[in-house]
Amino acid sequence: MFQPPQAYLAKLENKEVFNSKFTRLDFELESPHEMQFQAGQYVSIQINDQGERRSYSISSSPGIAHGFEILLDVAPMGLGVTFLQNLKFGDQIKILGPLGRFGWDETDPTITLIATGSGLGPLRSLVLDLLQEKKLSRPIILYWGLRHAEDLIYQDEFQQLSTAFPNFKFHPVLSQSPNEWSLCRGRVTDCLSIHDLMPNSGYYLCGNQTMIADVITVLTQRGVAAEKIHHEKFY
Ligand SMILES: Cc1cc2nc3c(=O)[nH]c(=O)nc-3n(C[C@H](O)[C@H](O)[C@H](O)COP(=O)(O)OP(=O)(O)OC[C@H]3O[C@@H](n4cnc5c(N)ncnc54)[C@H](O)[C@@H]3O)c2cc1C
């Protein structure tokens, strides 16, 4: 059930600079203290006094209602990224949330999640929710496309999840992989083309508009019905 969005005040509680591309920001809700959201939803953050806003998907589990995490790709370096990067611990932000209808369909017998870059954020929230909160035993596969091996994050977490939940599989895909890289190379579409697609899967795509269009083309060519494909476009 999607809750109507409302205004919240939140404060920066933690920040982890993973590498030159990704930073994780953790916010604690101050007022109101809790936000019920569905995995896949996003918040709209006010980034200046003129009231400009940017959208950021929640990357944490909906099982934690007193705060939320976002996974920031710092590359754009526009007003939104600069505002978030300059936040100090304890700084307060104004948000609206939860927003969006990018969530999973309970009737999917299998679930295929496909992200590039920071598109991983809402899909991480889905993975945590489906495995840890909902204890789903249906097959779940996550494909995540990036350029460089140095960009990879959350590897230990996804490794631990696939050990704890044998129904979960994770495929990182590198387009500029080092010679020793033994997993999928190229773009996520290359990886999807060589793997068997799971029967009757729901497909959840998140990334930029070119990636989404390309993945939809590949899936459609392989016979996936349009109503089984859901997407969230970041830019
Ligand atoms: C529903 C939704 C959810 C989103 N969730 C996230 C999220 O979880 N994490 C996140 O990092 N961003 C997310 N975004 C993108 C985010 O809202 C901003 O667009 C982004 O942070 C750039 O804002 P900016 O003000 O720094 O740059 P702007 O000045 O607004 O944009 C500069 C340019 O960068 C492009 N751009 C935007 N994002 C990227 C990117 N990741 N890589 C390369 N170019 C980009 C824009 O199209 C624009 O051309 C989301 C967008 C939407 C619509």
- Which residues does a 6 A CB cutoff place in the pocket of ligand 1? 42, 54-57, 70-73, 75-81, 100, 117-118, 121, 232, 234-235
> What does pTM read for this prediction?
0.97
pLDDT interval class at 2 (50, 70, 90): confident
* Ligand 1: residue whose CA is nearest its atom 22: 76
User: Which ligand 1 atom sits nearest the alpha carbon of residue 235?
Assistant: 47
Q: What is the DSSP string of 15-29?
A: EEE-SSSEEEEEEEE
| pLDDT tens per residue, range 133-182 | 999 999 999 999 999 999 999 999 999 999 999 999 999 999 999 999 99
Please name which of 127, 143, 124 lies closest in space to residue 184, comparing C-alpha atoms.
143
Mean pLDDT on 182-196: 93
Alpha carbons 49 and 141: distance in angstroms, whole number:
42
User: Which ligand 1 atom sits nearest the alpha carbon of residue 81?
Assistant: 26
pLDDT interval class at 96 (50, 70, 90): very high
Question: Distances from the Cα of 235 to the Cαs of 32, 43, 69, 102, 116, in angstroms?
Answer: 30, 15, 20, 15, 12
H helix and E strand count, the chain: 5, 12
Any idea where the domains of the chain sit in the sequence? 6-99, 110-233
- The H or E element spanning position 128 is helix 120-128
Q: Is 39 exposed, middle or buried (0-12, 13-18, 19+ CB in 10 A)?
A: buried
* Whether residue 1 has pLDDT greater than 80: no
CATH code reported for the domain at 6-99:
2.40.30.10
For residue 63, what pLDDT is reported? Answer: 97
For residue 199, what pLDDT is reported? Answer: 85
| pLDDT tens per residue, range 28-50 | 999 999 999 999 999 999 999 99
For residue 209, what pLDDT is reported? Answer: 98
CATH code reported for the domain at 110-233:
3.40.50.80
Q: Is 58 exposed, middle or buried (0-12, 13-18, 19+ CB in 10 A)?
A: buried
Mean pLDDT on 80-87: 98
Q: What are the tokens at 110?
A: 């299998």
